[in-house]
Structure 1
């Protein structure tokens, strides 16, 4: 039965993730409809990320002691409201407001879902459960976004948000009716929270997340230009490539969750980051072969998604009683890294007038993430040995 609840929450993550990712695919349609510039439309993505990064840890911390079923349903209610605001948006400022609402509610739902599924399964199955949730996010890339683009072409971009609200309403009723009560985190004082965040193991983990996401964004934000200008793929070929990469992402997240349970979070983090850094760094060396570069990009995407369940599991294992707090902050760092990476990648592309060198910069940042992971795990092992010696 718990597996059914996990799939139900994963469906909710699919819907909330679609609301985040779809905007990039329909920017032109929104700009034309609201009579705004493409740059102004792009701020809809920025505003969502800022709301996600800033609002999520605040709300998660304030609600950490509340039963997680109540937080999940509350977040979904706010998400539905945000979707309806987007559906009714005839003006830019109203759509911008909806992005702020959707950013916070989606972030809270995602973080609390991670924490909840970890409490619904035995400890040895945490990785698989987290991998299933991430499957919802990766599925939004390969299913939700293309469907949203098709809906925009056939009806309007507003229709997407109406459908998201309606399907979320079904999920909400099902959660209220069937999801069992899941206890919140143990009470943690403000002083304990500060002490927790001052833990060098956690600080190292956050640096790992930041470097990894920055490196990912440097390459992934400019993946389409790379495929167009470096590998010279046509528009239809790029569409099929993105779809295929999404499939690799889905496989990676599913397999990654299973491998966490077998190998442990640390080993999978090491392996995933090493493969990620190597595959992306090799891209400029093999641009003469489209097949080799596409294979390397597929390996990169697989490694990205396979590592994600391990990182989430790592935080849950570090402080099970404060999982919401740590996952919320980690999620904020993810969005900061994505924003910084997009900026760094753009600066490099502007300075060199090409995206050929973006993979090298991306590989360097992911390698820094690997170094942060090594340092973090080393500190954790020393702390464990010291604790054993004292006992």
Structure 2
């Protein structure tokens, strides 16, 4: 794989870390900002919502600027928002900076995905997208422990200063190492409408929502699940999260490899089925400590295979609206995070921790049904009626 693809993955890793990096330092943030813990927790919610809202609009910029220039602009703004966060006098300024980080992170992820697909041969496109999603999945999983380490060494403001330095280093490397590619299709509101006219493309987007939601019904509560259901000792939790992170990063690449080897249509059918099997395995066997780690690693790996598979499907079935589809898919992922976290919390409040994998499996079963629909037919099916011409 072209080394420059890994540089693009590093850019998504650095900007993506900002999303969950506050999760492990919430007590310190709450104390430093003099706000309740629940209010401090909304810093993560604001990022996820900001990302989901900004992603569809990011495509509008890809026609105006060369992609390398736009990527460096996004990294520069990301660094600036983190500097504002590090110097924030209070909660309101930090919250606004988090929304800015989310928008620039969404732009970075979209540009890196587009550049990756342009820098390799068509036969390697799925694997290139998979490498990008290794960066995205790695950031979501590893952002928490890295934030805790920086917080212990430098305090919560040092966490954001660390992101400033990382983003600046990637910016200068990208400017010198990446080609100056031009934006592709012209993005207009019609681009999104064309994408939404195809029922199978919309179904693929919903697969992302459902599978990511199924993932976060368990992952958002993984620490208490491991302790109270699988009876994992607390001192083993860092190992559990490290193993889960490794599995998730590997899954990003494997999803792209599967799409290249079998084709996107087959991969979009196989991946939800495999994921359903692993979630049912966690539900049935996760209470046994000796089974929990291998089951969890398989679950973590396959859960992150779906994103490059979906992106590859969107690129092959909807080439005329691929940028619009990719940006909408980034939004779909973050909608899935919010939906899954909410459903998991509801299940715990009305049932038990042990029921969360069953809830995730139910969401995944719905994704399997949509995958069956996506694999059928070859003609687009309109969700929005085409205008009728007058005789």
> What's the TM-score, normalizing by structure 1?
0.92
- What are the equivalent positions in structure 2 for 1:88-237 lying under 5 Å apart? 88-141=87-140, 143-237=142-236
Q: Distance in 1 between matches of 2:180 and 2:307?
A: 27
For the pair 1:271 / 2:270, whether they are aligned, the reply is yes
Q: Distance in 2 between matches of 1:136 and 1:104?
A: 17
| Equivalent position of 2:349 in the other structure | 350
| Equivalent position of 2:53 in the other structure | 54
* Structure number with higher helix proportion: 1
Q: Distance in 2 between matches of 1:255 and 1:206?
A: 20
Quote how far apart the aligned CAs of 1:144 are.
Answer: 4.4
**Residues 356-365 or 70-79, more deviating:** 70-79
Number of positions where the alignment pairs a residue of Structure 1 with one of Structure 2: 381
- What are the equivalent positions in structure 2 for 1:62-77 lying under 5 Å apart? 62-77=61-76
CA contact 2:206–2:367 (8 Å) conserved in 1? yes
For the pair 1:361 / 2:391, whether they are aligned, the reply is no
CA contact 1:201–1:376 (8 Å) conserved in 2? yes
SS in 1 for 2:353: coil
**Residues 158-167 or 276-285, more deviating:** 276-285
**Residues 313-322 or 156-165, more deviating:** 313-322
- CA deviations on 1:114-164 (whole Å, 9 max, x unpaired) are 111001101100111111111222333565432321121122111121121
**Residues 236-245 or 2-11, more deviating:** 2-11
SS in 2 for 1:375: helix
Quote how far apart the aligned CAs of 1:65 are.
Answer: 4.8
**Residues 247-256 or 370-379, more deviating:** 247-256
Quote how far apart the aligned CAs of 1:257 are.
Answer: 2.3
For the pair 1:33 / 2:32, whether they are aligned, the reply is yes
CA contact 1:65–1:186 (8 Å) conserved in 2? no
CA contact 1:253–1:306 (8 Å) conserved in 2? yes
Quote how far apart the aligned CAs of 1:271 are.
Answer: 2.0
CA contact 1:61–1:324 (8 Å) conserved in 2? no
| Equivalent position of 2:298 in the other structure | 299
- What are the equivalent positions in structure 2 for 1:77-92 lying under 5 Å apart? 77-92=76-91
Structure 2 CA distance for partners of 1:112 and 1:318, relative to 1, 3 Å: farther
Q: What do you get for the CA RMSD once the two structures are aligned?
A: 1.9
Q: Distance in 1 between matches of 2:201 and 2:287?
A: 42
CA contact 2:264–2:316 (8 Å) conserved in 1? no
CA contact 1:286–1:293 (8 Å) conserved in 2? yes
Q: Distance in 2 between matches of 1:223 and 1:144?
A: 15
| Equivalent position of 2:4 in the other structure | 5
| Equivalent position of 1:330 in the other structure | 329
- What are the equivalent positions in structure 2 for 1:230-269 lying under 5 Å apart? 230-269=229-268
Quote how far apart the aligned CAs of 1:321 are.
Answer: 4.6
SS in 2 for 1:378: coil
| Equivalent position of 2:388 in the other structure | none
Quote how far apart the aligned CAs of 1:189 are.
Answer: 4.5
CA contact 2:5–2:116 (8 Å) conserved in 1? yes
Structure 2 CA distance for partners of 1:142 and 1:214, relative to 1, 3 Å: closer
Quote how far apart the aligned CAs of 1:325 are.
Answer: 1.4
| Equivalent position of 2:368 in the other structure | 370
- CA deviations on 1:169-226 (whole Å, 9 max, x unpaired) are 1221222233212121222553353133221121111121121122111111111121
Quote how far apart the aligned CAs of 1:229 are.
Answer: 1.2
Structure 2 CA distance for partners of 1:12 and 1:212, relative to 1, 3 Å: same
Gaps of 5+ in 1: 385-391
- CA deviations on 1:275-296 (whole Å, 9 max, x unpaired) are 1112112323224521223322
